[in-house]
Amino acid sequence: MAYVLGIDIGSGFSKAVICEDKTILSHAIMPSGGNFKETAGKVTEIVLEKAGLSPGDISYATATGYGAAVVDFADRSITDISCHAAGVCHMFPSVRTLIDIGAQFSKAIRLNDKGKVANFILNEKCAGGSGKFIQVIARILHMKIEDIGKFSIQSDNPVEFTTGCAVFAESEAVSRIAEGALPGDILAGVHKAMASKIVNLVVRLGLTGDCAITGGGAKDHGLVRAIKTELNTDVLVPEEPRITAAFGAALSAAENIYQ
């Protein structure tokens, strides 16, 4: 019996997963904050406590993500692209196209028949296709991030944004509020603009097989619906879409043990 740890230090949130024989025992998620090294230690403490384990029980640890380099207790680090692919393939073996929507970047990843990365595309250095866009609009509307999806879904008249840039969209959203636009219509318009950018990545990559959405953006039901509409196909979303890279890192750790 071996326990392995996968830890994903993202720019917005850090995630940790403990597995036994490729089965998730526990997971933990917390804001990354300004000290990635400290956060890595804290999120690991939490996930160990949830699993009823101590650090000495972990046979192998793999780190990934934006701040993987600071996880000095990990046995190795690997790219988050490959970790997302491994995690999603284990959850949904039929998936060949993966969309990951993170705090700073969105990615479209194509998987081969073995669940390995065949190709991928990242969005440009613009927050218009990432979770940052949603955070900006939520701040303007004085709304909690978790409430955005339900308001967007209720909209029948999405606001048309003339820009896909988060910076200019902030000013445009303020103008729409002054004109009397409803918050739900503004949010639906934001989701439509984001979906257009994200789906453009998929089009460039080529939509193949079943499609899954992961990352914090996958918890936004309004955005998921907008992407489904743009793609004109159904999508798969994990029960907890933020931990797929950490899960993939744990699976990689397990492979190193059983080689």
Domain-embedded: residue 66: yes
Domain-embedded: residue 89: no
Query: For position 139, what pLDDT does the model report?
Result: 81
Question: Alpha helices of 141-243 — where are they, by DSSP H?
Answer: 148-153, 166-178, 183-205, 221-231
Degrees to nearest 5, angle at CA 151 with 147 and 153: 120
Query: For position 243, what pLDDT does the model report?
Result: 97
pTM, two decimal places: 0.90
Q: Dump pLDDT digits (tens) for 141-159.
A: 887 777 777 878 888 888 8
Domain-embedded: residue 54: yes
- Residues 206 and 98 both lie in one domain: yes
- Residues 147 and 224 both lie in one domain: yes
Kindly report the CATH number assigned to the domain that includes residue 45.
Answer: 3.30.420.40
**Number of domains the chain is built from:** 2
Strand positions, DSSP E, the chain: 3-9, 13-20, 23-31, 58-64, 76-77, 95-101, 106-111, 117-122, 210-214
Q: Dump pLDDT digits (tens) for 201-217.
A: 999 999 988 999 999 88
Asked whether the predicted pLDDT for residue 226 surpasses 70, the reply is yes
Closest CA to 233 of 224, 222, 241: 224
Query: For position 199, what pLDDT does the model report?
Result: 92
- Residues 28 and 150 both lie in one domain: no
Asked whether the predicted pLDDT for residue 127 surpasses 90, the reply is no
126: confidence class by pLDDT, cuts 50, 70, 90: low
Query: For position 167, what pLDDT does the model report?
Result: 62
Do 81 and 120 meet the contact criterion of CB atoms below 8 Å apart? yes
Domain-embedded: residue 88: no
- Residue entry with tokens 């440009």: 124
- Residues 119 and 231 both lie in one domain: yes
Q: Dump pLDDT digits (tens) for 21-74.
A: 889 999 999 999 989 999 999 999 999 999 999 999 999 999 999 999 999 999
Closest CA to 218 of 241, 235, 202: 241
- Residues 47 and 175 both lie in one domain: no
- Residues 181 and 122 both lie in one domain: yes
Stretch among 59-63, 94-98, 114-118, 134-138 having the lowest mean pLDDT: 134-138
Domain-embedded: residue 205: yes
Domain-embedded: residue 68: yes
- Residues 191 and 117 both lie in one domain: yes
Domain-embedded: residue 172: yes
Q: Which residue has the higher pLDDT, 248 or 146?
A: 248
What is the pLDDT averaged over residues 225-241?
95
Asked whether the predicted pLDDT for residue 200 surpasses 80, the reply is yes
- Residues 138 and 226 both lie in one domain: yes
- Residues 98 and 198 both lie in one domain: yes
Q: What is the mean pLDDT of the chain?
A: 89
- Residues 140 and 70 both lie in one domain: no
Query: For position 133, what pLDDT does the model report?
Result: 74
- Residues 231 and 247 both lie in one domain: no
Query: For position 7, what pLDDT does the model report?
Result: 98
- Residues 68 and 113 both lie in one domain: no
- Residue entry with tokens 């080529």: 206
The residue range of the domain holding 113 is: 94-237
Domain-embedded: residue 87: no
